[in-house]
């Protein structure tokens, strides 16, 4: 019998009481700050409509070890937790502290209810979650020793995931370093240079807004599909702009300082994708001159294209700007050697079926399974 099973058998053998959150604590609303009051150099993070700080402030109105529920914007209904003192704006509710529970336990219990909370968001105008919804949310409230053991188990899961995420971040930095090192040819006098337009044909995509279908056969390749490595997908039954194996796709439009501009995707299957507008498609003219995969790696987030992002206005790359990129032409054998090295790094950092991302996904599913299982108690009968 596990330590948790022992505690449950000793302290709550007949079940656990389920209570409305508002019956055991206060749901606190924050106070809005103006943008002029925020800074990036002050001590306390300010949370408004998301789990990333809106900025930083000189004072705090919430203590560390506090649970929050975002109540406005696209993240409304999302549950968060702060391990440091912070300022709560009116865009997030905070769960008051109590002697009846551990805040960290409430955090995990509310995560189990996050789908419910998000389903109660009102979408008339700005998405909004009412405080009454949070107050009426029911959670199991076992004795404190049981809560402590559940928190210990789930914290171990989240720590393992955090370690893997940190390793992935380090690996990606390493990958970017070696990619830049391998693809920097300016200091090699033997390198021949050609304009992209000399070695590849270009075509633009077409709008698919009116053709989107949840059960569609074809994937619409747009900027979100490329920037999220295929995790954000829209479908259609109309292959308005067909794509073929070894087409290189490049994002031509992005918000200031976004991470999608000039990001590339290499088509891996015929009759699977269709090209959306503001995505360019390139096809190598002569594979005896340049390897398609080598060109893909060289163009992906290429600095010659990123220079058009001024950090203020939305960037819209033009066809002639893309086709004017200088491409290094080196022996095919060397191109393929570089591709093999980068393929290994890419699989380790980005492959959702192997490598670190796959392990993180597996850990996350395991954590969610045990979280839901640990927080499902037999309800005590009156």
Whole-model pTM: value is 0.65
Q: Structure tokens of 74?
A: 């696209």
The pLDDT of residue 372 is 85
Whether pLDDT at 182 is above 70: yes
Residue of 85, 59, 89, 55 lying closest to 72 (CA atoms): 89
The pLDDT of residue 323 is 96
Residue of 286, 287, 281, 300 lying closest to 343 (CA atoms): 300
Whether pLDDT at 263 is above 60: yes
Quickly name the fold that domain 17-141 has: Adenine-n6-DNA-methyltransferase TaqI; Chain A, domain 2 (3.90.220)
C-alpha distances in angstroms, 15 versus 23, 43, 375? 19, 44, 12
State the Cα torsion 238-241-246-249 to the nearest 10°.
-110
| Contact partners, residue 278, CB within 8 Å, separation at least 6 | 204, 205, 222, 223, 251, 252, 253, 316
Laid out side by side, the sheet with 55-57 consists of: 55-57, 44-47, 87-88
The pLDDT of 317-340, averaged and rounded, is 94
The pLDDT of residue 177 is 82
Give the single-character DSSP code of 128. B
- Answer for the pair 21, 137: CB distance below 8 angstroms, yes or no: yes
Q: What is the pLDDT of residues 8-28, one digit of tens each?
A: 888 998 889 999 999 999 999
The pLDDT of residue 252 is 95
Residue of 7, 354, 328 lying closest to 150 (CA atoms): 7
| Contact partners, residue 259, CB within 8 Å, separation at least 6 | 227
Give the single-character DSSP code of 24. H
Whether pLDDT at 382 is above 70: no
Q: What is the mean pLDDT of the chain?
A: 90
Q: What is the pLDDT of residues 353-374, one digit of tens each?
A: 567 777 888 888 888 888 888 8
Q: What is the pLDDT of residues 191-226, one digit of tens each?
A: 899 999 999 999 999 988 888 888 889 999 999 999
CA-derived radius of gyration, the chain: 26
* Architecture (CATH level 2) of domain 192-329: Alpha-Beta Complex (3.90)
Q: What is the pLDDT of residues 76-113, one digit of tens each?
A: 999 999 999 999 999 999 999 999 999 999 999 999 99
For the chain, domain boundaries: 1-16+143-188+332-382, 17-141, 192-329
- Domain 17-141 and domain 192-329, same fold? Reply is yes
The pLDDT of residue 352 is 54
Q: Structure tokens of 252?
A: 């031509």
């Amino acid at each position: 019998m596990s330590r948790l099973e022992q505690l449950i058998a000793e302290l709550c053998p007949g079940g656990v009481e389920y209570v409305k959150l508002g019956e055991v604590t206060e749901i606190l609303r924050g106070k809005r700050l103006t943008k002029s009051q925020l800074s990036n150099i002050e001590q306390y993070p300010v949370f408004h409509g998301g789990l990333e700080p809106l900025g930083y402030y000189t004072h705090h109105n919430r203590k560390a070890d506090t649970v929050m529920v975002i109540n406005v914007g696209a993240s409304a209904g999302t549950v968060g937790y702060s391990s440091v003192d912070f300022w709560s704006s009116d865009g997030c509710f905070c769960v008051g502290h109590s002697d009846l529970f551990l805040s960290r336990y409430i955090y995990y219990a509310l995560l189990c209810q996050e789908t419910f909370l998000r389903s109660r968001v009102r979408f008339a105008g700005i998405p909004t979650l009412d405080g009454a919804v949070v107050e009426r949310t029911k959670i199991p409230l076992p004795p404190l020793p049981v809560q402590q053991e559940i928190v210990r188990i789930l914290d171990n899961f989240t720590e393992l995931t955090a370690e893997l995420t940190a390793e992935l971040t380090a690996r990606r930095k390493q990958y970017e370093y070696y990619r830049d090192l391998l693809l920097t040819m300016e200091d090699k006098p033997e390198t021949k240079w050609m304009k992209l337009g000399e070695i590849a044909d270009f075509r633009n995509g077409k709008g698919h807004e009116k053709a989107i279908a949840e059960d569609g056969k074809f994937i619409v390749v747009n900027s979100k599909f490329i920037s999220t490595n295929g995790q954000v997908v829209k479908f259609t039954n109309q292959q308005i702009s067909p794509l073929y194996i070894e087409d290189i796709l490049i994002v031509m439009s992005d918000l200031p300082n976004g991470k999608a501009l000039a990001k590339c995707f290499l088509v891996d299957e015929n009759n699977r994708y269709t090209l959306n507008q503001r995505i360019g498609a390139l096809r190598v003219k002569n594979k005896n001159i340049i390897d398609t995969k080598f060109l893909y790696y060289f163009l992906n987030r290429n600095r010659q294209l990123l220079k058009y992002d001024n950090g203020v206005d939305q960037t819209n790359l033009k066809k002639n700007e893309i086709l004017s990129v200088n491409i290094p032409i080196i022996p095919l054998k060397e191109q393929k050697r570089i591709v093999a090295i980068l393929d290994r790094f890419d699989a380790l950092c980005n492959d959702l079926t192997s490598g670190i991302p796959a392990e993180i996904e597996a850990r996350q599913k395991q954590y969610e399974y045990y979280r839901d299982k640990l927080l499902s108690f037999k309800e005590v009968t009156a």
